[in-house]
Amino acid sequence: MPVSSKDQQQQIVLSAEKHFIHYDSFNKGFVQVPRMVKKCVGLSLQAKGVYDYIATFVYEHGRSAFPSIHNIAVGCGVSASSAVKYIDELVRKGFIKRVRRGRGMTNDYYIVDVDQVDLLRVSEIMWEVFSYLLSESKDNSWEQLEEAMKVVIAQVKSEGCELHQLDATEEFKEAFLRNLKSAMEGEKLEPMAFVPRKPKAVTATAQPSAPQERTALGKNNVPYMDRDEDTWNVTNFVDYFYRKFLEVTGQKHSGSLGMHQGIMKRSLKQMEGESKHELRRYINAFFEMGYDIKTIEWFGRNGRVGEIRQYLSDGTKPFYLTKKIKNSSSKKVEQDNATQERQGLSLEALDRLLGGDQNE
């Protein structure tokens, strides 16, 4: 259909710079995060930013994305350790699925459909309650709601529950409304323990990231080797190192447990925000690289984490280990040559004894 001259005059003319910005935004990763995610109660602002950033990569690459931790950290303006923290929050609360692809490779991230995120259902019910209370009385204000909200959430946590573990039911809605009113009026809150919890979902593609249920004593009743590394403590990693040392050397590791815990804690800090899964990989790589000394003290020396990171990244070993391998290879060649020479002399002497010269 031809455009009239009048319509042409009414069309907005963008400058070259603005046209580029619009084109680049809509065709190279423009993503609008769902409104319910932006206003989700119980999800931190930083986690929402990381969600937005990962969603941009998913938009560009298809059903999943695989940006590195440092890529996410730089793009979101946070440290690498903070990026890991907020990714863990998104995984724990069901917004994304994280799949570990193996040594030296970045994780795969999948965005979960919003209708499958339990926390979003709970959040939407809470917003309905907010709207109801504000419309019910002009005396109610956002300031009162905010303070009352803190009291109610603190009560939920005191009962050993998180918002994303609640069922978004009418029962929950009534209990939340009743307690929010009580908190605003300064009255005592009723227990909300009757609200059923959502069972933790286990997916075939993503590694479990939430801690296992704990006993009344606060100790995990599942052996640490059967749990996800995110739930390991420093003592677990030290024990894992002892196991590897025994496996490789056939000897028990000696030394002070307290000192070894300090070394392992320092090594974890030197990993620049990488997850605890990586520390286990670092320990395994340490025993693969061929260090003469295989103790935990040698593992914790300054610069060792950087050497192992380089090895995991591209297979490069420190120059002194490479030189040691070359020297050992040269010595082996020299030994083989010497053996051949000795064997040659022995054959020549044997030939003379048998009268080989006379036979010629």
List the pLDDT tens digit at each of the 360 positions of the chain: 444 444 444 445 545 555 554 455 555 555 677 888 888 888 989 999 988 888 887 755 556 778 888 888 888 888 888 888 999 999 998 888 888 776 667 778 888 888 888 888 888 888 888 888 888 777 767 888 888 888 888 877 777 778 887 877 788 888 888 888 887 777 777 766 545 554 444 343 333 333 433 333 344 556 878 777 778 888 889 999 999 999 888 888 888 888 888 888 888 877 766 667 788 888 998 998 888 888 888 888 888 888 888 888 888 888 777 765 555 555 554 555 555 555 544 555 555 555 655 444
Instruction: Compute, in degrees rounded to 10, the torsion defined by CA atoms 143, 41, 47, 163.
Output: 130
Residue type, 34: P
String of DSSP letters for 95-111: SEEEE---TT-PPEEEE
108: phi then psi, degrees, rounded to nearest 5: -100, 135
Cα-Cα end-to-end distance for the chain: 107
Three-state secondary structure of 280-324:
HHHHHHHHHCCCCCCCHHHHCCCCHHHHHHHHHHHCCCCHHHHHH
The secondary structure of residue 138, as a DSSP letter, is T
**pLDDT digit string (tens) for 105-161?**
777 888 888 888 888 888 888 888 888 888 877 776 788 888 888 888 887 777 777
Q: What distance in Å separates the CA atoms of residue 360 and residue 357, rounded to the nearest whole number?
A: 5
The CATH number of 22-116 is: 1.10.10.10
Burial (Cβ within 10 Å: 0-12, 13-18, ≥19) of residue 30:
exposed
Give the Cα separation of 25 and 46 in Å (integer). Answer: 22
